[in-house]
Amino acid sequence: MIGKMFRISIFGESHGKGVGVVIEGCPPGIEVNVRDIALELSKRRIDDPEISTQRREKDDFHILSGIFNGYTTGAPIVIFIENRDVDSSNYEEIKDTPRPSHADYTARIKYFGYNDYRGGGMFSGRITASIVAAGAIAKKVLAKYNIEVYAHTYSVGEISIPEDTSITRIKEETYKSPVRCADPESSKKMYELIKKVRREGDSIGGVVEAIALNVPPGLGEPPIDTLEGEISKAMFIIPGVKGIEFGRGFKLTRMKGSEANDPFVIKDEKILTEKNNSGGINGGISNGMPIILKVGFKPTPSIYKSLKTVNITMKKEEYIRLRGRFDPCIAIRAVPIVENMLAIVLTDHLMRWLSWIEYMS
């Protein structure tokens, strides 16, 4: 479960009946239109076969409870998203030969072989549809407090967007790009790179950057539930995530304190910082500056090259060739997932902070 006041649980498997989410703690009276959820889910789809999987899920969903006459009721919200474009035939032949760098082997050990191995089961990127659906609700809560959340493809392989890419461009251009990149020139290069590695039967990794605007100072519950810690835990629920950094991240390790520090200033009668090397968080608490983080995704482990593995039943080494439908770059598909996951965590911490305000008043 993610969160304490705004809580979500996700369920389902890649090749089961569907996936879904249970949202608890959402305040009543939040206006939610089915189009809001459908819009967020549509951002997951990249219909270009040159750079995306051939699996085409329409993400038809059903709201089973918690929303009535277009408003949240205060009851748990349950959203179920159907799986329709499923082909499990390729997974039967490799069930005893775990795919390298997938969860096949570890899941088999953990669950004594009873796990659903088709398409990766609950370890598949398919479960992220549930996160996006929950994020659509979270964004409606954040909007009441003018908090905005955005994400975009920061890099694919060695290709990165310019450091001076504006937030306006990120807002306006990201979802116009087939690779979810806000810079048109970088977008073209990323597209060609992904297309190239796909034709080689390979895959490539990438980085997604997320930005939250108008976050008030005070969010975060240290010493345990720090804002960075809660965001990080949530991001690592997303399949394929292998790293996260806030603000300047690891670049801070190469700086002097005089370079890394964010001096305080007064601007429009608000206390802000002159720079934002810390990414909007100090001591595990938001400081009023934009929250900025980057999430690193590994290359898709399912590729069309020969892969070395073992036959668990026969106890011998083997080589396998996978047949199926794979994304050559999961990072570009992850942009709306990172965006909505950040919205979920911020909604939970906003509600926790508001409870402090109510208590102190």
Looking at the domain assignment, is residue 75 inside a domain?
yes
* Residue ranges making up the domain that contains 87: 7-360
Looking at the domain assignment, is residue 158 inside a domain?
yes
Looking at the domain assignment, is residue 138 inside a domain?
yes
Confidence class for position 107, pLDDT limits 50, 70, 90: very high
The predicted structure's pLDDT at residue 323:
81
Q: What is the pLDDT of residues 288-343, one digit of tens each?
A: 999 999 999 999 999 989 999 999 999 999 998 988 788 999 999 999 999 999 99
Confidence class for position 165, pLDDT limits 50, 70, 90: very high
What CATH code is carried by the domain that includes residue 140? 3.60.150.10
Overall number of domains in the chain: 1
Distance CA 328, CA 341 (A): 22
The predicted structure's pLDDT at residue 34:
94
B/e letters for 43-65, b = 16+ CB within 10 Å, e = fewer, are: bbebeeeebbbebebebebeeee
Looking at the domain assignment, is residue 113 inside a domain?
yes
Q: What is the DSSP string of 27-55?
A: PTT-B--HHHHHHHHHTT----TTTS-S-
Stretch 204-216: mean pLDDT: 98
Is 88 a residue whose pLDDT tops 90?
Answer: no
Looking at the domain assignment, is residue 14 inside a domain?
yes
E strand or H helix at 153, and its extent?
strand 148-156
The predicted structure's pLDDT at residue 98:
92
Is 261 a residue whose pLDDT tops 90?
Answer: yes
pTM confidence score: 0.95
Looking at the domain assignment, is residue 2 inside a domain?
no
Looking at the domain assignment, is residue 322 inside a domain?
yes
Looking at the domain assignment, is residue 186 inside a domain?
yes
Is 105 a residue whose pLDDT tops 80?
Answer: yes
The predicted structure's pLDDT at residue 280:
98
